Amino acid sequence: MGAGPVDQRRPALPRLRHRRHHPGRPGRDWLTSTLDQNSNSSLDGAGQQLERQTVGWLRELFGLGPEHRGALVSGATMSNTVGLAIAREWLGEQLGVSVADAGTAALGRVRVLSGSPHSSIAKALSMLGLGRAALVPVPTLPGREAVDPAALERALRESPGPCVVVANAGTVNTVDFDDLRALAGLRQRHDFWLHTDAAFGGFAALAPEHAALVAGLDASDSVCVDLHKWLNVPYDSAVQFTRRPDLQARVFQNSAAYLGPLGENPDLVHLTPENSRRLRALATWFALRAYGRDGHRDIVERCVTAARTLGRAVADTPGLRLLAPVRLNVVCFTLAEPGSADGPAPERLAALADRMSADAFLTPTRYAGVPALRAAFSNWRTVNADVEQVIRALRNAVAAEG
């Protein structure tokens, strides 16, 4: 693979602040449908070559080493599912069995430890036959969504055998980050597979001011990053990485006389849940080629600036309460309810969100037991004027509360 567009040696790509057409947006997806190539093997055109190059560029973008191999899947839920399927095979390897052949019964009870996992982790465990009950919650640090490494070590000590740890690099409520280096360090004393869900938090790696949040990501055995969120390509796109493509091929291999042998670098048909698949890498290839590292860093930084501006405005607005510091691109807040520990009724928040729905799309949530709203910034077009508009709408909506 030659030097990619995210390679530092390349001349800086133009900054495209106000471009009307994002190169990875629907135009390129149209091309994907028009080409209509099945990108699952070397038998059917150059699609999988393009995907391998794209995965290589993404690996560079997120600061992962060459040991990480990967493929594109339909979203972060599927990326987490693939990562945990490889983890499942690794658990079997520790016991001297292949789960792909013998089934999950060979594993006995599986434990998946995590501080604040995304809901898709439980869904993945259900799909993989490990069961939602396999998920063991681990206490988080006081007032945080990040896992408490000491509590995790206690849980590992109590675990009777090898287990799986899901690290969270960007929780959806407050964008909190587990200490990935501390978690990886625990492997010196305990046997576990480390899967990191960096669906959107992985993009912190692009901005020098925030890169420390994902320091240590490379040590993960498997990594999930969404592309249809902060990379701004159309829906149906995420990447999965792993250091154990051999185990991945054991899980997903689809051996048939007319398909190629597995070999060192298996065809994609042997690495992902789908057999036939559209060339979903194309939109990402264009986005990386056109914007490069600098362009995507610019998008990340503008979104973070917008979130911080909104966070300050929330903190300064009587009647509102910021529920967590703005660590990256999400503002989690609620209506101030002096004297009430439970916070406002969810219906009041829904009405507030409804009043400003023409200016902002806020999602309801619950943080530390308190009903709340979250504003998440990830759109490539976000500029300061947008956030000023949201602040005006928010203040008007609060004033209308009376």
202 binds ligand PLP (CB under 6 A): no
> According to CB under 6 A, which one of 110, 199, 225, 306 is a site residue for ligand PLP?
199
Among the candidate windows 75-83, 140-148, 249-257, 394-402, which touches ligand PLP by CB under 6 A? 75-83
CB 111 within 8 A of CB 164: yes
Residues 324-383 that bind ligand PLP (CB under 6 A): none
145 binds ligand PLP (CB under 6 A): no
Place of tokens 């690996």: 59
Q: Which two tokens stand for residue 336?
A: 């101030």
83 binds ligand PLP (CB under 6 A): no
- The residue among 108 and 137 lying less far from ligand PLP, judged by its C-beta, is 137
Among the candidate windows 55-63, 193-201, 215-223, 267-275, which touches ligand PLP by CB under 6 A? 193-201
* CA 37, chain centre distance (Å): 27
For the bound state, the minimum distance from the C-beta of residue 318 to ligand PLP, rounded and expressed in Å, comes to 31
Among the candidate windows 135-143, 174-182, 196-204, 322-330, which touches ligand PLP by CB under 6 A? 196-204
- The residue among 107 and 231 lying less far from ligand PLP, judged by its C-beta, is 231
Q: What 3 state SS string does the chain have?
A: CCCCCCCCCCCCCCCCCCCCCCCCCHHHHHHHHHHCCCCCCCCCCCHHHHHHHHHHHHHHHCCCCCCCEEEEECCHHHHHHHHHHHHHHHHHHHHCCCHHHHCHHHHCCCCEEECCCCHHHHHHHHHCCCCHHHEEECCECCCCCCECHHHHHHHHHHCCCCEEEEEEECCCCCCCECCHHHHHHHHHCCCEEEEEECCCHHHHHHCCCCHHHHCCHHHCCEEEEECCCCCCCCCCCEEEEECCHHHHHHHHCCCCCCCCCCCCCCCHHHCCCCCCCCCCHHHHHHHHHHHHHHHHHHHHHHHHHHHHHHHHHHHHCCCEEECCCCCCCEEEEEECCCCCCCCCCHHHHHHHHHHCCCCCCCEEEEECCEEEEEEECCCCCCCHHHHHHHHHHHHHHHHHHC
Mask for 89-128, x = binds ligand PLP (CB under 6 A): -----------------------------x-x--------
- The residue among 169 and 259 lying less far from ligand PLP, judged by its C-beta, is 169
> According to CB under 6 A, which one of 70, 75, 92, 295 is a site residue for ligand PLP?
75
Q: How many residues bind to ligand PLP according to rule CB under 6 A? A: 12
Q: Determine the Cα–Cα distance for residues 318 and 336; give it in Å rounded to an integer.
A: 8
> According to CB under 6 A, which one of 77, 220, 232, 382 is a site residue for ligand PLP?
77
Among the candidate windows 73-81, 187-195, 308-316, 325-333, which touches ligand PLP by CB under 6 A? 73-81
Among the candidate windows 70-78, 242-250, 270-278, 348-356, which touches ligand PLP by CB under 6 A? 70-78
297 binds ligand PLP (CB under 6 A): no
Residues 211-230 that bind ligand PLP (CB under 6 A): 226
For the bound state, the minimum distance from the C-beta of residue 118 to ligand PLP, rounded and expressed in Å, comes to 3
197 binds ligand PLP (CB under 6 A): yes
Among the candidate windows 20-28, 72-80, 104-112, 174-182, which touches ligand PLP by CB under 6 A? 72-80
238 binds ligand PLP (CB under 6 A): yes
Which positions touch ligand PLP (CB under 6 A)? 75-77, 118, 120, 170, 172, 197, 199-200, 226, 238
